[in-house]
Amino acid sequence: RSPEEAAAYVRTLQALLRSVGASDGNMEQGSLRCDVNVSVNRAGEPFGTRCEIKNLNSIKAVQVAITSEVYRHIDLIERGLPVAQETRGFDEERAETFKLRSKEDAPDYRYMPDPNLPPVLITEAHVDKVRQAMPELPTALSTRLQNDYGLTERQAEVLMSVDSGVNIGYDGEVAPPGAVPYFEEVAWGRDPKVVVNWITQELLAQLSRLDEPFSANPIPSSALGELIDLLQAGKITGTSAKTLIRHIFNSPPSIEPLSSMSKLVGDLGLRATSSDLQSLCEQAISLLPEEAELVRKGNEKVLMKIVGQVMKLSKGTADGKAARALLCKMLKTED
């Protein structure tokens, strides 16, 4: 009933075809194309005359073409003119449909059996065999990610869409494991919401920056899990964790797989600072005397600027919450 609903239908079909290895679903490259039939009617009245728009090559084109055609029909009807049943094309640059040919009814399609195509007979046993071998389909997978891990629909969609359509084989040969199995490995025994945030906001961001597929991810699931454990234990700050991920992506590829995040944290001097936090806070206050005085007078909004200075002095290794609490105490403000 709307361009958005049609687009959602095509996306669902794409995901289904990709999940079973039937097609990469790439509309721009011709693996999948879409014809849409459009008609309009006033509420409570019969459906109007239908027009078909042929060979649309993207989901955006589907939405724009439907919108354009709907307004064309409405304009004709409001001017008292008939809508002719016809086949139309779509001009992407002008965002308009145009007439290809008219057709009066189904006989114009020349529907008839082809004597060179014998009937295809499929047994129930074969259908059952295929059903048993089917991978987890998109709708079921999305539901499971939301129910079992507490992910939002959007988070599940992002994980499932990573590298969607790449490396599709032939006749049911499913693409290699992607972001979802990786997420499930990292999430084992950990907070799934924390895990999905690090994957979608940091890992995928770095892959996108380098224009690399998920298969090029240099951080094994065990290593990311270890990094999250270090973060949760307070042995590394969020800033340092992000720095470490960027370092791994920016470093030249190594023959040896990444094995120990803890060792790398130590080698790079990224362990969370605690023993000299007092000294760092004192330095920050001395560097920002005006801001410190404003905080003493009750302007707590400025406090985060001093906390930022502490993080800068520690190169991101200081615990931001602990630094804020200590600064509040040093400057005699309410936390």
pTM value is: 0.69
CB of 192 within 8 A of CB of 145? no
Contacts of 88 (CB under 8 A, 6+ apart): 51, 52, 53, 54, 69, 97, 98, 99, 100
pLDDT band at 214 (very low <50, low <70, confident <90, very high): confident
On the question of pLDDT at 253 being above 80, the answer is no
1/22 Cα distance (integer angstroms): 28
The domain spans of the chain are: 3-102, 276-332
**Per-residue pLDDT tens over the stretch 264-274:** 777 776 666 55
**Per-residue pLDDT tens over the stretch 186-205:** 999 999 999 999 999 999 99
**Per-residue pLDDT tens over the stretch 322-331:** 777 777 777 7
Could you tell me what percentage of the chain is helix, strand and coil, using 3-state DSSP and rounding each to the nearest 5? 55, 10, 40
